[in-house]
Amino acid sequence: MANVIILGAQWGDEGKGKIVDLLTEQADAVVRFQGGHNAGHTLVVDGKKYVLHLIPSGIVRGKTCMIGNGVVLDPAALLQEMEELNRLGVTITGAGFKISALTQLIMPYHRELDVAREKRKGKGKIGTTGRGIGPTYEDKMARRGIRLGDLYNRQVFEAKLQENLAYHNFVLENYHNAATFTLEAIRDDYLRMADQLAPYVDDVSTLLADAMDAGQAILFEGAQGTMLDVDHGTYPFVTSSSTVAGGACSGTGVGPTRIDYVLGVAKAYTTRVGSGPFPTELHDAIGEHLFTVGHELGASTGRARRCGWFDAVVVRHAARINGLTGMALTKLDVLDGLPTLKICVAYQRNGRRLENMPSDPSILEVCEPVYEEMPGWSEPTSGITQVEALPKAARDYIQRLETLTGVPASILSTGPDRIQTMIVDNPFARPRR
C-alpha cells in the first residue's frame, strides 16, 4: 500500500477534509505536517458534519492520527477540539493519537502579536485567522520557540518562557501598545495542559518509520494550499508554513523517497479567504452563485470566501511545485446550471501573455486573466457515482482542466458527503516504490 500526500492546490478550503476522510479507509495512519488551528477541514458522514482544525481528519474513522513536528500547536485549542469530538462520539486515546515532542507551541503572546500586527497594518493587513500562527513560526526560525517536549522539563520551560516574555512583552507594550503577559499565569496554565497531553507525546518520525517498515500505508494531510505557501504562494499574502509536498517530509521527519503519490485537491472553481491577489475573482452574479450554492463561508473563522473561475495557471503552478501525481476535483455540482463556464488559461499584462505565475506580487496584482469558454450543463451532478453518467459537458470540462493543468483527475466530488464521490485512480492502490 502506498504513502500518499493530500494537499491543497489552490488557496485552501479545496475540500481536503472530505477527500482525506474518504481515502482514510485505506490508510493505517493519518499525519498532519504543517499549519495549526488556522485550518478548518469539513467532513460529512451520513449527513453528520465534523469540522477539524488540528486533529487529522482520519480520527472520525478511528485510524491512528498523528501531529508532526511541522505543526504549530495551541494546547488549549487542541484540548477543546478533543472535547468537542468526544461530544460527537469520537473517542481519542493515547494509543490512537500521537503528537511529536518537537511540535512548536503557540503561546498567548503569539495570538496577541498576530492580532496587534494586523491592526497596525490596517488596510494592508494579510487577513490572518488571528490564531498566532505567524508569530509562532517566527519564533521557531529565530530559535527561541518553545516545543511541546520542553513542557516536561520545568527548568528549561521556565527559562525559555522568561526569555520569550522579556522580548515579546517589550514589543507588545512599546511597539503595539497592546496587553502584556506574566510568567506565572502562562506557566501554570501550560504545565496543567502538559499533564493532560502527556499520554499523547511521542517520537512521530520513528513511529512513522516503524509503521512504513511494517508495510503500513500513511496518509499525509496538508492544511491551507499551495498558493498560501510561505515560499511558493502569493507572498506576503500567505500563511507562515511550507504547505507544499516538500513540507510533508520536513514536517514529519520522513524522507521523500518514501512518498508514492501526491494528490492535489482543487475546486472546480477558485476561492480565497483573506487579502491578496486573486486574478479570476468575480464580483458579479456568477460570483454570487458560487458563493451561495457553494456555501463559501470559512470553516474556521466564518468569513466569506472570495469566489472566481478556475485558474489553470494556479493549478499548473501547484502541479510543478508539488510534483502532483493526480488531482481530486471537488464541488463540480456547484457549477450545475451555469450556461457558460470560463477557465483562466494564462495571464496578460501590457499585451504580453504569461503562461506561468509571476514571482512578483505587484505584477500578479495587475495581471488580467485570459479566458477560454466552455458550455455548462443543466442536469444536477450531485450523487452521480459513475463518470460516464456525468453530463457530456461536465466530462468535457474535466478533460479540459486535465489538459490545461497536465494533471489527471483521480477523484471527482459532487457533494459534501463521503459517498458523493467517484474514484477514477485510487492513490493507495499504487505499488510501493
Per residue, the 3-state secondary structure of 272-308, as one string, reads ECCCCCCCCECCCHHHHHHHHHCCCECCCCCCECEEE
Encoded one letter per residue, x for contact with ligand GDP by CB under 6 A and - for no contact, window 303-342 reads ---------------------------xx-xx--------
Q: Where are the alpha helices (DSSP H) in 50-147?
A: 75-87, 108-121, 133-141
Q: Which of 5, 7, 14, 381 is in the footprint of ligand GDP by CB under 6 A?
A: 14
Nearer to ligand IMO, 26 or 301 (CB): 301
Toward Mg ion, which CB reaches closer, 13 or 112? 13
Cell digits of residue 5: 500526500
As a whole number of angstroms, the distance between CA 133 and CA 12 comes to 15
Least separation in angstroms between CB 223 and ligand IMO: 4
Q: Does 164 bind ligand IMO (CB under 6 A)?
A: no
Minimum gap (Å) between residue 19 Cβ and ligand GDP:
8
Q: What is the DSSP letter of 69?
A: T
Of 12, 75, 251, 415, the one binding ligand IMO (CB under 6 A) is 12
Nearer to ligand GDP, 190 or 291 (CB): 291
- The b-or-e profile of 113-127 (16+ CB within 10 A means b, else e) is bbbbbbeeeeeeebe
- Rounded to the nearest whole angstrom, what is the least distance from the CB of residue 86 to ligand GDP in the complex? 21
Please identify which residue in 22, 273, 312, 321 interacts with ligand IMO, judged by CB under 6 A.
273
Is 74 one of the annotated active-site residues of the chain?
no
By the 10 Å C-beta count (0-12 exposed, 13-18 middle, 19+ buried), 89 is classed as: exposed
Choosing among ligand GDP, ligand IMO, Mg ion, none, which partner's interface includes residue 131 (Cβ < 5 to 8 Å by kind)? ligand IMO
Positions 192 through 251 that interact with ligand IMO (CB under 6 A): 223-225, 228, 239-240
- The answer to whether the beta carbons of residues 268 and 307 sit under 8 Å apart is no
Least Å distance, CB 381 to ligand GDP, is: 9
- DSSP assigned state of 145: P
Asked if 264 touches ligand IMO (CB under 6 A), the answer is no
**Least separation in angstroms between CB 240 and ligand IMO:** 6
- C-alpha pair distances (Å), 215 with each of 61, 265, 277, 376: 20, 26, 43, 45
Verify binding: residue 27, ligand IMO, rule CB under 6 A: no
Pairing mode, strands 201-202 and 97-100:
parallel
44 binds ligand GDP (CB under 6 A): yes
Residue 63 CA neighbour count, 13 Å, CB half:
25
Active-site residue flag, 283: no
Q: Which is nearer to ligand IMO, 38 or 381 (CB)?
A: 38
Q: What angle do CA 377, 400, 221 make, to 5 degrees?
A: 95
Q: Which is nearer to Mg ion, 99 or 265 (CB)?
A: 265
Q: Which is nearer to ligand GDP, 148 or 268 (CB)?
A: 268
Which of 34, 164, 53 has its CA nearest to residue 112?
Answer: 164
- Residue 87 carries which side chain, given as an amino acid letter? R
38 binds, among ligand GDP, Mg ion, ligand IMO, none (CB under 5 to 8 A by kind): ligand IMO
**Strand 29-32 to 64-67 pairing:** parallel
For ligand GDP, the closer of residues 270 and 413 by Cβ is 413
Question: How many other CB atoms are there within 10 angstroms of residue 352's CB atom?
Answer: 8
Residues forming the site for ligand IMO (CB under 6 A): 8, 11-13, 38-41, 126-129, 131, 133-134, 223-225, 228, 239-240, 273-274, 299
Annotated catalytic residues are: 13, 41
Residues forming the site for ligand GDP (CB under 6 A): 8, 12-18, 40-42, 44, 295, 299, 330-331, 333-334, 413-416
